[in-house]
Amino acid sequence: MQFLEKSPRFFFFTGKGGVGKTSLACAAAIRLADEGKRVLLVSTDPASNVGHVFGATIGNRITPITAVPRLSALEIDPQAAAQAYRDRLIEPVRGELPDEVVKGIEESLSGACTTEIAAFDEFTALLTDESLTADFDHILFDTAPTGHTIRLLQLPGAWSGFLEAGKGDASCLGPLAGLEKQRNQYQAAVDALADPMRTRLVLVARPQQSTLREVARTREEFAALGLSQQYLVINGVLPPQEAQQDSLAAAIHERENAALAAMPSALDALPCDRLPLKPFNLIGLDALRQMLTDCPAQDPQATDSREALPEIGQATLAHLVDEIAVDGHGLVMLMGKGGVGKTTMAAAIAVELAQRGLPVHLTTSDPAAHLSETLDGVLPNLTVGRIDPSAETERYRQHVLTTKGAALDDQGRALLEEDLRSPCTEEIAVFQAFSRTIREASKKFVVMDTAPTGHTLLLLDATGAYHREIARQLGNTGMHFSTPMMQLQDPRQTKVLLVTLAETTPVLEAVNLQNDLRRANIEPWAWIINNSVAASHPESPLLLQRAHHEVSQIEQVATRHAQRYALVPLLEEEPIGPERLMALTGHTAAHLDEAGAASEVGVSTKTSSTE
């Protein structure tokens, strides 16, 4: 493996969600530990599943992996880090200031920006504080999906610049005087990240056009941040011999070859490793140790691939769309782990609704959005948008400067501009755009492709913080009020669809997300199991073995986790463009005509009752 040769102190594994970053980071950590090195594996992903991969409880402390001598792991828990951060800032003033003032400070520290900077404090400490990491030869970071990771790595420079300017307050961070103490640590983190002798970036991709384009953009963005030591790993390449077994395997092999042949030129100069697709899930030590070997894979939980697949439910995406269409309007949010196909599912649902003559706005809150690439065309009744953090932040800045800043003198305006340079400004701006999008759903369908799980939960944190503040201010006045969180909690207005794959880790991730949503009084409406090999009835031995592994996960979703669900098969052709997207719903032409007529009745009835 080229990416492990002459190993530096720090490794970062990054790439689009779902490409196998966690599995690769775990496998690399095991390989280095087996070679006698002392290794610390760190997850900076708000939706970490490192503990599940190892079958161990890890959490927010350095924990030895008992089954692998010399290997320890740590999952940075953003919520625990944020609580410790808040306690550190608030305890000195508790009792010194009026309770109402302290409560206001606590509320200002409840947002997503505080959560992110608190987790970042722990992250930078691992890069710079030798007392924490002196016992380890290598530290491997399993990072969050690309958009979140870029924000994380930009923070050292961003906060250093903010502190340089700095007089005044940063509301979600506490007084800048407290942050001054972090200046040296942030600068040391920047230096460590940019040092090719200490840090190596491992870009992980799948042999797919979308993930290769994404990783090419990531390569350039990280190079601009000074991370020049980069390696490429293409994970999950279907072995060519499988292409001779059936049409599905042949189509996948042809698609992968075309994607690799057209790989972006930005990746050509990088050292590259290609890892074959395994017939089993990469969970547990036996499976992980096989990930980086060239030997034929031996399934630790093998079943006879010649056995017929048991019958599985055929609940189609069309049935979910039939129920959604009856209301005539509403917010449909697709959530889940990165790489499970939320963008494709959102586009398929939006296209299906638009084909029925219903007005639809398809949008995304994912910083690494690919809606236009998936849709590949325009349709009547369908508009496509995006919540762009940079554009929304600039719009918010200009609005504040032209309203609040209009009456200020030069000194006051300079202080306002300084305050607007805080990274907290982006949190506010994106939340406002999110709120505007939610309000649209009272008149049309808004189908939202959300960012990977951790980033989405941070956005919901901001929504919840806003709701709590409004409730605090108006709760005793008797005034009626409505917040975006209240709309998300109302199943008549919002339907949350959890997207997953029929694999252990994505299903567990979706279960955890469902539990998080329920704690916020948001009840998921349905699950979508995407790209199911079992539903495609393969004949290739490798794909058939993977199909057998899927069955138990499908049964768990159907019987334990979901109120309703849809099973979407892996298709021979990539679902790009309206016609292929509609094929995902499983509709026949007759069914589509019948459902369209039914939905039109629903719409006219809705309109009639409104009139």
Residues marked active site are found at 18, 20-23, 45, 505
Identity at 166, one-letter amino acid code: G
Instruction: Say how far apart CA 233 and CA 24 lie, in whole Å.
Output: 9
Specify the residue for token string 């970053």. 21
Instruction: Say how far apart CA 448 and CA 335 lie, in whole Å.
Output: 9
CA separation, residue 380 to residues 355, 357, 364, 587, 604 (Å): 8, 8, 19, 20, 19
Where is 175: in which H helix or E strand? strand 174-175
Instruction: Say how far apart CA 445 and CA 448 lie, in whole Å.
Output: 10
Q: At what angle do helices 504-519 and 453-474 cross, to 10 degrees?
A: 0
Identity at 201, one-letter amino acid code: L
Q: Residue 62, exposed/middle/buried by CB under 10 A (0-12, 13-18, 19+)?
A: middle
Instruction: Say how far apart CA 65 and CA 396 lie, in whole Å.
Output: 47
Specify the residue for token string 């944020």. 82
Q: Residues 6 or more apart from 250 whose CB is under 8 A from it?
A: 243, 244
Instruction: Say how far apart CA 249 and CA 543 lie, in whole Å.
Output: 8
Instruction: Say how far apart CA 499 and CA 497 lie, in whole Å.
Output: 6
Are the C-beta atoms of residues 435 and 484 closer than 8 Å to each other?
yes
Specify the residue for token string 């200020």. 408
Instruction: Please give the structure tokens belonging to residue 574.
Output: 């990539």
Where is 357: in which H helix or E strand? none
Q: At what angle do helices 78-90 and 99-108 cross, to 10 degrees?
A: 150
Cα dihedral angle (448, 449, 454, 456), rounded to 10 degrees?
-20
Are the C-beta atoms of residues 194 and 225 closer than 8 Å to each other?
yes
Instruction: Please give the structure tokens belonging to residue 113.
Output: 């920006």
Instruction: Say how far apart CA 582 and CA 588 lie, in whole Å.
Output: 10
The DSSP result for 325-383, as a single string, is: HTTS-EEEEEE-STTS-HHHHHHHHHHHHHHTT--EEEEE--TT--HHHHH-S--TTEE
Instruction: Please give the structure tokens belonging to residue 320.
Output: 């979910």
Are the C-beta atoms of residues 139 and 9 closer than 8 Å to each other?
yes
The DSSP result for 225-277, as a single string, is: TT---EEEEEEEEPPGGGGGT-HHHHHHHHHHHHHHHT--GGGTTS-EEEEEP
Instruction: Say how far apart CA 548 and CA 551 lie, in whole Å.
Output: 6
